[in-house]
Chain A
Amino acid sequence: MRPTGSALAATAAVLFGLAVASLFTGVITLDPGTAWHDPEALRLLAVSRFPRTAAVILTGASMAVAGMIMQMLARNRFIEPTTAGTGQSAALGILVATMLWPTAPLWAQMSLASLAAIAGSAGFLALIRHLPPSQPLLVPLVGLIYGGIIGAAVTFLGYQLDLLQYVEVWMNGEFSGVLRGRYELLWITGALTLVAYVVADQFTIVGLGREASVNLGLNYDSVVIAGLLIVSVVTALTVTTVGMIPFVGLVVPNVVSRLMGDNLRATLPCVALSGAVLVLACDLLGRILRYPYEIPVGTIFGILGGAVFLWLLYAGPARTAPPDGR
Chain B
Amino acid sequence: MIEIEGVSHSLSGVPILRDIDLTIPKGGVTALIGPNGAGKSTLLSLMARLERVQTGRIRFDGLDVTQTPTGQLARVLAILRQETRIATRLTLRDLVSFGRYPHHKGRPGAADRAAVDEAIATFGLEPLAGRQIDTLSGGQRQRAFVAMTFAQGTDYLLLDEPLNNLDMSHARALMLRLGEVARTHGRTVVIVVHEINYAAAHADRIVAMKDGRVVRNGPPGDTLTGAALTDLFDTPIDVTEIHGRPVSLHYA
Contact = CB atoms under 8 A, between A and B. Distances in A.
Contact of A325 (B78, B91, B106, B141): B141
Nearest to A322: B134
A265 B90 contact: no
Given A133-B85, A324-B83, A326-B165, A262 B70 contact: no
A76 B74 CA distance: 26
A262 B90 contact: yes
Given A204-B98, A208-B98, A325-B138, A215 B90 contact: no
* SS of B interface (majority): loop
Interface in B108-162: 132, 134, 137-138, 141-142, 152
A149 interface: no
Given A214-B49, A325-B138, A326-B165, A208 B78 contact: no
Interface string A291-326: 000000000000000000000000001011110111
Contacts, number: 95
Interface in A169-213: 199-202, 204-205, 207-212
A48 to B, nearest CB: 41
A136 interface: yes
Contacts of B152: 215-216
A221 to B, nearest CB: 11
Contacts of A77: 87
B50 A207 contact: no
B134 A325 contact: no
Interface of B: 48-50, 70-75, 78-79, 81-83, 85-91, 94, 98-99, 101-102, 105-106, 132, 134, 137-138, 141-142, 152, 164-165
20 contacts: A72-B88, A200-B106, A205-B101, A207-B88, A208-B88, A214-B50, A215-B50, A215-B79, A217-B101, A258-B89, A261-B132, A262-B88, A319-B89, A320-B87, A321-B85, A322-B141, A325-B164, A325-B165, A326-B164, A326-B165
8 A-B pairs with least C-beta separation: A217-B74, A325-B138, A217-B71, A201-B106, A321-B87, A321-B85, A217-B102, A261-B89
Interface of A: 72, 75-77, 133, 136, 199-202, 204-205, 207-212, 214-219, 257-258, 261-263, 265, 317, 319-322, 324-326
